[in-house]
């Protein structure tokens, strides 16, 4: 009690650096729990008094000393968390005294700088991440994505994509995140397309109608590529997302089949027919033509698509069984041959031809790069 009494008399005349050092020493003595009960009570009173110190350096020293301890006085830590950002950030980023509910409340009521600090906390819980995704500004959401120890639910990724997907830097961070669900990746691809379509420069160069068509085609191509990076267990979620958005079109299905995404086609047919996945997998893997056509009919896919899908499926079966070496270039050519030159469905023929020409260009480009690298 005598030491603390002397401290309280001395602190009024001491210099800032001396007060800061003394505050840190007193805080460490308190959390080390080496003081007798009466001395601890007196030390806690002194620490409380230091919250009113006019210098932020003293309060910063206090925050540094108390921030990591579960034995720090809760009311002092709470007061420091409401101090100016430089001081508050120390305890908000580290203190184990804050419950999940405390942190969620602060996210909802704090300035963006504080939200960002909380988002970077080690082992941020799934509920805290959800709160940040729902009300946090773009900086806080970026900090959450950069926090590899944070538990982020798929729904939270979706909310971030919906709220901030138009921001290029945050969009790039999400796309680079391995935890990002496939449907969110598609949502961000759509955001990129929307940004390009509304770009004044793009519209000025090629016109609004062509910009609409080019971005739509680019998104469709990117979505097919997206399937490659999607785990099998996520296929159903991606299919449902595309279906709800109206993007699960006949054109998209043809593009996916042409590129050999037969597992994904299975997930599409499960969603469209309600049939069991094992049955559909069996039919696609080796079922007779009549069974495949029946499945496509149940899925309500246009009749014109049936024969070209069936043709592509037979080729991809042979590739899977090691009986043939082929890629999208050959498959699309044979799909066109199946339609015939006098095809009445010009739109379908045009789509398959465009896919074929795209694969020709991609293969030629890859060949040229290989020659250059040799």
Transcribe 77-145 into DSSP letters: HHHHHTS-HHHHHHHHHH-TT--HHHHHHHHHHS-HHHHHHHHTSTT--HHHHHHHHHH--HHHHHHHH
pTM: predicted TM-score of the whole model, two decimal places: 0.60
CB 52 within 8 A of CB 82: no
Statement to judge: residues 20 and 86 lie in one domain: yes
Q: Which of 49, 76, 93 is the last residue of a domain?
A: 93
Question: What are the tokens at 71?
Answer: 């034995």
Q: How many CA atoms lie within 13 A of 14 on its CB side?
A: 18
Same domain? For 69 and 18 the reply is: yes
Number of domains the chain contains: 3
Two structure tokens written together for 289: 């033509």
End position of a domain, from candidates 39, 67, 93: 93
Pair (14, 64) in one structural domain: yes
Contact 89, 120 (CB under 8 A): no
- Model pLDDT, residue 260: 92
**Domain match, 176 and 188 both:** no
Does 61 share its domain with 108?
no
Residue 270 domain-assigned?
Answer: no
- What is the reported pLDDT for 339? 84
Q: 216 and 174, same structural domain?
A: no
- 52 and 117 in a single domain? The answer is no
- With respect to residue 338, please indicate whether it lies within any of the assigned structural domains: no
Domain span at residue 85 reads 1-93
**Residue 308 falls inside a structural domain:** no
111: left (phi over 0), alpha (psi -120 to 50) or beta: beta
DSSP 8-state secondary structure symbol assigned to residue 222:
H
Tokens of 240: 């449902």
The verdict on 4 and 82 lying in the same domain is: yes
Judge if 78 and 126 occupy the same domain.
no
Residues 146 and 160 in one domain: yes
**pLDDT value of residue 179:** 84
Query: According to the model, what pLDDT value does residue 207 have?
Result: 65
Helices (H), 207-345: 208-228, 235-245, 250-258, 262-273, 277-286, 289-298, 303-320, 328-339
Cβ atoms of 53 and 90 closer than 8 Å: no
- Same domain for 74 and 45, yes or no, is yes
In a structure prediction context, what are the per-residue pLDDT tens digits for the chain, which is 374 residues long?
466 666 766 776 678 898 889 888 888 888 887 777 777 888 888 888 888 888 889 999 999 999 999 989 999 999 999 888 889 999 999 999 999 989 999 998 888 999 999 999 999 999 999 999 999 999 999 999 999 999 998 888 888 988 888 888 888 888 888 888 877 877 777 776 666 666 676 566 666 666 566 666 666 666 777 787 778 888 888 888 788 778 888 988 999 999 999 999 999 999 999 999 999 999 999 999 999 999 999 999 999 899 999 999 999 999 999 999 888 899 999 999 888 765 667 888 888 998 898 888 888 888 787 887 76
286 dihedral zone (left: phi>0; alpha: psi -120 to 50; beta): alpha
Asked if 103 and 87 sit in the same domain, the reply is: no
Domain boundary (180, 202, 232) is at 180
Residue 143 neighbours by CB under 8 Å, 6+ apart: 116, 117, 119, 120
For residue 196, tell me if it sits in a domain: yes
Structure tokens at 284: 């696609």
């Amino acid at each position: 009690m005598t030491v603390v009494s002397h401290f309280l008399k001395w602190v009024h005349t001491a210099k800032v650096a001396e007060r800061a050092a003394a505050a840190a020493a007193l805080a460490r003595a308190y959390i080390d729990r080496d003081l007798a009960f009466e001395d601890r009570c007196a030390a806690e009173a002194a620490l409380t008094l230091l919250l009113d110190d006019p210098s932020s350096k003293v309060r910063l020293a206090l925050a540094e000393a108390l921030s990591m301890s579960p034995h720090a006085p809760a009311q002092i830590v709470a007061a420091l968390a409401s101090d100016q950002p430089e001081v508050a950030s120390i305890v908000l980023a580290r203190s184990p005294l804050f419950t999940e509910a405390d942190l969620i409340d602060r996210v909802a009521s704090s300035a963006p700088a504080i939200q960002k600090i909380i988002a970077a906390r080690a082992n941020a819980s799934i509920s805290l991440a959800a709160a940040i995704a729902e009300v946090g500004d773009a900086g806080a959401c970026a900090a959450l994505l950069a926090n590899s120890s944070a538990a982020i639910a798929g729904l939270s990724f979706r909310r971030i994509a919906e709220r901030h997907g138009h921001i290029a830097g945050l969009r790039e961070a999400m796309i680079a995140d391995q935890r990002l669900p496939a449907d969110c990746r598609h949502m961000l691809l759509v955001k990129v397309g929307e940004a390009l379509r509304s770009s004044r420069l793009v519209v000025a160069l090629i016109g609004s109608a062509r910009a609409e068509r080019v971005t739509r085609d680019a998104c469709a191509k990117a979505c097919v590529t997206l399937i490659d990076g999607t785990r099998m267990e996520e296929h159903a979620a991606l299919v449902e997302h595309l279906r709800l958005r109206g993007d699960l079109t006949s054109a998209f299905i043809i593009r996916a089949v042409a590129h050999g995404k037969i597992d994904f086609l299975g997930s599409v047919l499960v969603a469209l027919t309600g049939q069991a996945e094992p049955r559909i997998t069996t039919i696609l893997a080796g079922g007779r033509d009549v069974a495949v056509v029946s499945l496509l009919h149940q899925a309500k896919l246009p009749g014109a698509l049936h024969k070209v899908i069936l043709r592509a499926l037979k080729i991809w079966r042979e590739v899977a069984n090691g009986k043939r070496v082929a890629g999208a270039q050959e498959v699309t050519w044979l799909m066109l041959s199946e339609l015939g030159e006098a095809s009445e469905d010009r739109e379908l023929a045009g789509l398959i031809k465009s896919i074929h020409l795209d694969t020709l260009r991609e293969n030629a480009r890859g060949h040229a790069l290989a020659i250059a690298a040799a």
